[in-house]
Amino acid sequence: MCIQCPQCGSTRITTRDLGKKVGGATGVIAGGVTGWTSAVTGARVGMTVGLMGGPAVIALGCVAGALVGGLVGAATGGVAGAKIGSVLDQRVLDNLECVVCEHVFSAPE
């Protein structure tokens, strides 16, 4: 892949990946919110399981269930968001920036 700056002809081009970053961050938040629901469910399941093992197991099951639910949600959301953002970068946004003259443009295709 050899992209040239349409303005100054330089080949020192960098990608901005704006959509990917924003998408990833948004996804983590959205996923975290969704994950919260799973966390509550996880905590409930953990507590139910823990009921058979006494108070210490209830606490442990509650924390473990919440952690797993929240983390899985955030991670899934982050990956999905970054994927959507990266598609946005390629299709919609001007994702390339010339290092020499700072001209911003989209990939020629």
Residues 2 and 9 sit within 8 Å (Cβ to Cβ): no
SS3 call for 70: helix
CA–chain centroid gap for 50, Å, is 33
The CB-of-9 to Zn ion minimum distance in angstroms stands at 7
Distance (Å, whole) CA 88 – CA 19: 6
And the tokens for 50?
Answer: 């823990």
The single-letter code of the amino acid at 29 is: I
Does position 99 interact with Zn ion (CB under 5 A)? The reply is: no
Range in contact with Zn ion (rule: CB under 5 A) among 17-25, 61-69, 74-82, 96-104: 96-104
Q: Using the rule CB under 5 A, which residue among 33, 51, 63, 101 binds Zn ion?
A: 101
Q: Using the rule CB under 5 A, which residue among 3, 10, 88, 97 binds Zn ion?
A: 10
Range in contact with Zn ion (rule: CB under 5 A) among 2-10, 15-23, 45-53, 77-85: 2-10
Does position 7 interact with Zn ion (CB under 5 A)? The reply is: yes
SS3 call for 109: coil
Kindly list the residues in this chain that would bind Zn ion in the complex (CB under 5 A). 5, 7-8, 10, 98, 100-101, 103
